[in-house]
Chain A
Amino acid sequence: MTTPPEAEPSATPPASAEKRQDQSRLHSFGIVLRESFLEGNTFTVTVLALLTATVIGGLLCAFTNSTVLNAPNAGSMIARAWDVASGTYVALFEGSVFNPHTVAALFQQASLPTAIHDGYLSAVFGPLSETAVQATPLILTGLAVALPFQAGLFNIGGQGQFIGGAIMAAWLGYYLSLPFFVHVVVCVIGGFAGGAVIGWLTGEIKARTGAHEVIVTIMLNYVMLYLLAYLLASQSLLQAPGSSNSITPAIASNAHLPLLAGTSLRINAGFLLAIACAFAIWWLLNRTTTGFEFRSVGANASAARVAGIKVERSWVLAMLIAGGLAGLAGSAVIQGTDFTLNPQSFGTYGIDAITVALLGLGRPWGVVWAGLLFGALHAGSPGMQTVTSTPVQIVQVLQALIVLFVAAPPLIRAMFRLRAVRAGGVGAATSKGWNT
């Protein structure tokens, strides 16, 4: 699993300072943020945001490239810039969706049986498989942010919940010895439970004491981070026997998530699990009484309370399910691709999850698309570096740009001179304000 090295969670400000921050301000910040994503957005704006980010990202690639900067004259500079930018995106595409060179190689094989035997056919789908593998934990953690969003909560705790799930999945994976399918299911359930406990704890603390979930989840991220480090450094606990590295033993092969397309592709049942979860969350939110409660609490907690909805219970339940989803992401990584747990296993999923959820407008299917897009960016970035020597970090810049533009619909609207989306237009909203 490739995880860009410098996006360590320690980039977040010191925990103790965070604690003193004004709760109500944080709260209203959360609401504004949520509203700007959930309500002030449209499909068009999102597409335009992606487009704008792509253009600016291309310019960045081009004008940080030494061959472009050292161009002898303006004309060749533009030509080289175009080459670098387009080369970068082509490489991204080839690494994440479809690589024509592999296909060409396939057709040069004399016969189809040879091609299959040599693994070319599966290689054709290699990029897509890689995108799906990268997208799996992003979708699951993205859902873990999107669901509480709908219930009015801002879940920053994807990382801690992911770790909770990964610990359970890894431990059950190597400690137990069960038949194939049973072992997979036990580990997946364990992963869900491991994350759910952490999520539930957050919800329970908020419901009982009113502590803001943003602070609680950030704190729990640290708790889980150091708990993991401790567990992995203790021989009597999770550390592989006889190892001096912080790593668990490999999980039993019976606990591996089944591969979906043969041994040469990494795509596994985890991806199906993620899609199934997205469906389940969509169904939960839109078709069930529980989802109705979540959405009421999220959209107007006091009206929900007056309508007899137990707001605190909704918080707890939403956080519990969200924690479980992030835990499943941990399980998918451990059981699907990594097979051991180390202190880097959680990668940057906790933070990426927020961006995925934002890009997905807080809706389950939106999260799937956003997860696939970011998965593709991750899958394509190594190839991009080798082909055009664009640093992999540019992918993160690209992600940041996408989120920036998605997060600021008025900016995109102003750039493309779009009308506001609210019913009745700006005028109605304003005049209503003046007359009440």
Chain B
Amino acid sequence: MELELRGITKRFGPLVANDGISLSVAPGQVHALLGENGAGKSTLMNVLYGLMQPDEGEILIDGTPVSFHSPKDAIAAGIGMVHQHFMLVPVFTVAENVTLGIEQAGRAGLLDRRGTRREVAGLSHRLGLDVDPDALVEDLPVGIQQRVEIIKALVRQANVLILDEPTAVLTPAETDELFRIVRQLRDGGTSVIFISHKLKEVQSIADTITVLRRGAVVGQREPSATEADLASLMVGRNVQLRVSKSPAKPGAPVLTVTDLTVRGDDGRTWVDGLSFDVRAGEILGIAGVQGNGQTELCEALMGLRPTADGKVTLNDKDLTRAAPRERLRAGVAYVPEDRTEDGLVGSFSVAENLILDMYDRKQFSSGINLKLPEIAKNATERIAEFDVRTGSAATPAGTLSGGNQQKVILAREIGREHKVLIASQPTRGLDVGSIEFVHRRIVEQRDHGVAVVIVSSELDEIYALADRIAVMYEGKITGFRDPDVPTAELGRLMAGGTDAVPSAAAQPQAGPATPEVRAAPDAGTPGTPDEGKGA
């Protein structure tokens, strides 16, 4: 089946989300859509999947124009979509999820469970998906849930499969598995539209790459195109993909965490006897698949969640029981994971957000009176210094783009005196340009002698920033590594693999440990994303 989009235009009021986009997807091809957030990728796919109607342009299948008024039409025409957030019922089995909406009634109007199960098992076997039709979806890891979504689409006879940011939730190993499946589908004649903003992945999986910027197609490339070429096409200017940084000059330990244990609201132990320390002038990168206790660790470090056991000290000052305010005062700067929920007050002006945790300091208040001129002056300075693109200091922060919101938070947190910077997923959802900016600022902090902790589920980010990598799995640190550790080894640790050399684990200077680690025999997983680069 050949799919073609011709001159698709979609407007939202004055905003043109898609501006005359044309592209064609040949059968048996992986077509990647590369673009920053807000480039119009999702809008285009929503148009294609019948969730939105285009204002102009048409969709053609095998040369015949079609129009989709709902996803039902799109599905009937052979288009399947795997959303970034899965559309599964957690308490149903795999087979039940697959059959949901297209239930086949057998004799006496009963559900034909056996048929569905057979179909799922068959597909799973044929593609090597390893999915048990009787497993409850809530018990399955994210990677398998994604496969269930793929099966769902295939059962509905999808000839074109849309994958929307499919790797955002996966471990490196799961990503490799997904790529294997995608290649297999492609070889079987299915077309795949692969939406992503990650250059490496796109290069490794795509047959053709279409780059979108500000709602329009700005170019098409072969996967052999260089990363720099793709990035500049995507952003519209030259970007530095990896910030240059000199070797760390670590000083004395600043933040010391000893046997930290944190429980969730449900009593579950999220952080289990964690110990590490961070030195002045170094960046500790905490890698790990999301949901392994990183969020709880950060919350406990900030005093937002009670510490069940263990100790947190900052320059020998015990902060274990300190309230958030005391920790901020003690010199902790914090960039929270969820910036709109925890980092900003959306309805407040940029100026107010820039003093959100400093409003009661001498600089901005005397007694209970706010010093409005000082607040305004601070805003003007910070906006200029951090290049925040905002209409004015009075603009509500919630209306800014993600990158600019993050700049506001960074400006506030590193703009004041601090000894430690804890940043959780600092570039999540940001475009390449903003990532570059944020990374540069973080490295700058390190060079100023700040002890930096970066929590990230993006390995690229960990590699780009960390001077030392700790991998978290189920609330524990499975190992410390140097930043030149191969991806496969990190992937192994992220999946719970134990440390090859436990004695060296807690040592920051992991010098002698590295060669042994690299030689670990079980470290290899077939095909890291980097392998496809040369192809």
CB within 8 Å of B: which residues of A?
A: 39, 287-290, 292-293, 295-296, 299-300, 302-310, 422-428, 430-432, 434-436
Contacts A306-B324, A425-B13, A434-B46 given: A299-B345 contact, CB under 8 Å?
Answer: yes
CB of B345 within 8 A of CB of A288, answer no
Closest to B45 in A: A434
- Tell me which of A288, A310, A431 contacts B325 (CB under 8 A): A310
Known: A292-B360, A425-B13, A434-B42. 14 other contacts (CB 8 A): A288-B369, A295-B348, A300-B341, A305-B324, A306-B343, A306-B357, A308-B326, A310-B323, A423-B391, A427-B12, A427-B13, A431-B43, A435-B37, A436-B429
CB of B302 within 8 A of CB of A306, answer yes
CB of A427 within 8 A of CB of B341, answer no
In Å, the complex CA distance between A306 and B15 comes to 34
In Å, the complex CA distance between A431 and B327 comes to 38
In Å, the complex CA distance between A304 and B396 comes to 16
Is B328 on the interface with A (CB-CB < 8 A)? yes
Is B517 on the interface with A (CB-CB < 8 A)? no
Chain A nearest CB from B92 CB (Å) reads 24
CB of B352 within 8 A of CB of A292, answer yes
Closest to A38 in B: B347
29 contacts between A and B (CB under 8 A): A288-B368, A288-B369, A289-B359, A295-B348, A296-B348, A299-B347, A300-B346, A302-B341, A303-B343, A303-B345, A303-B356, A304-B345, A304-B356, A306-B302, A306-B324, A308-B325, A308-B326, A310-B325, A422-B399, A423-B395, A424-B13, A425-B13, A427-B14, A427-B15, A428-B12, A428-B14, A428-B15, A428-B399, A436-B37
Chain B 333-375 near chain A by CB (<8 Å), digits 1 or 0:
0101000011111111000100011011000010011101000
Interface size on B, residues (CB 8 A): 49
- Chain A residues near B324 (CB, 8 Å)? 305-308
- Tell me which of B11, B342, B369 contacts A306 (CB under 8 A): B342
Majority-rule SS of A interface residues: helix
Chain B nearest CB from A189 CB (Å) reads 21
- Tell me which of B38, B52, B368 contacts A289 (CB under 8 A): B368
CB of A287 within 8 A of CB of B345, answer no
In Å, the complex CA distance between A287 and B359 comes to 11
Is B410 on the interface with A (CB-CB < 8 A)? no
- Chain B residues near A290 (CB, 8 Å)? 368
Chain B nearest CB from A260 CB (Å) reads 31
Closest to A296 in B: B345
In Å, the complex CA distance between A290 and B370 comes to 9
- Chain B residues near A436 (CB, 8 Å)? 37, 402, 429
Chain A nearest CB from B38 CB (Å) reads 5
Chain A nearest CB from B244 CB (Å) reads 31
- Chain A residues near B352 (CB, 8 Å)? 292
In Å, the complex CA distance between A303 and B334 comes to 12
- Tell me which of A288, A307, A434 contacts B43 (CB under 8 A): A434
Is B33 on the interface with A (CB-CB < 8 A)? no
Chain B nearest CB from A80 CB (Å) reads 47
Contacts A299-B347, A431-B15 given: A287-B357 contact, CB under 8 Å?
Answer: no
Closest to A297 in B: B345
In Å, the complex CA distance between A407 and B191 comes to 50
Chain A nearest CB from B334 CB (Å) reads 7
- Chain B residues near A308 (CB, 8 Å)? 323-329, 357
Is B304 on the interface with A (CB-CB < 8 A)? yes
Chain A nearest CB from B399 CB (Å) reads 5
Is B469 on the interface with A (CB-CB < 8 A)? no
Chain B nearest CB from A302 CB (Å) reads 5
- Chain B residues near A307 (CB, 8 Å)? 324, 328, 356-357
Chain B nearest CB from A198 CB (Å) reads 24
Chain B 308-333 near chain A by CB (<8 Å), digits 1 or 0:
00000000000000011111110000
In Å, the complex CA distance between A436 and B338 comes to 13
- Chain A residues near B11 (CB, 8 Å)? 427
Chain B nearest CB from A328 CB (Å) reads 21
Chain B 11-55 near chain A by CB (<8 Å), digits 1 or 0:
111110100000000000000000001101111001000001000
- Chain A residues near B391 (CB, 8 Å)? 423
CB of A292 within 8 A of CB of B37, answer no
In Å, the complex CA distance between A431 and B345 comes to 21
In Å, the complex CA distance between A304 and B43 comes to 33
In Å, the complex CA distance between A309 and B347 comes to 17
Contacts A289-B359, A300-B344 given: A306-B334 contact, CB under 8 Å?
Answer: yes
Closest to B341 in A: A302
- Chain B residues near A309 (CB, 8 Å)? 325, 357
In Å, the complex CA distance between A425 and B13 comes to 7
CB of A292 within 8 A of CB of B359, answer yes
- Chain A residues near B327 (CB, 8 Å)? 308
Contacts A299-B348, A308-B324, A431-B12 given: A289-B370 contact, CB under 8 Å?
Answer: yes
- Chain A residues near B347 (CB, 8 Å)? 39, 299-300
In Å, the complex CA distance between A187 and B25 comes to 81
- Tell me which of A299, A305, A306, A423 contacts B399 (CB under 8 A): A423
CB of A426 within 8 A of CB of B370, answer no
- Chain A residues near B346 (CB, 8 Å)? 299-300
Closest to B11 in A: A427
In Å, the complex CA distance between A302 and B305 comes to 12
- Chain B residues near A293 (CB, 8 Å)? 359
In Å, the complex CA distance between A381 and B336 comes to 56
In Å, the complex CA distance between A352 and B336 comes to 42
In Å, the complex CA distance between A304 and B324 comes to 10
CB of B359 within 8 A of CB of A306, answer no
Chain B nearest CB from A294 CB (Å) reads 12
Chain A nearest CB from B8 CB (Å) reads 14
Chain A nearest CB from B56 CB (Å) reads 16
- Chain B residues near A289 (CB, 8 Å)? 359-360, 365, 368-370
- Chain A residues near B359 (CB, 8 Å)? 289, 292-293
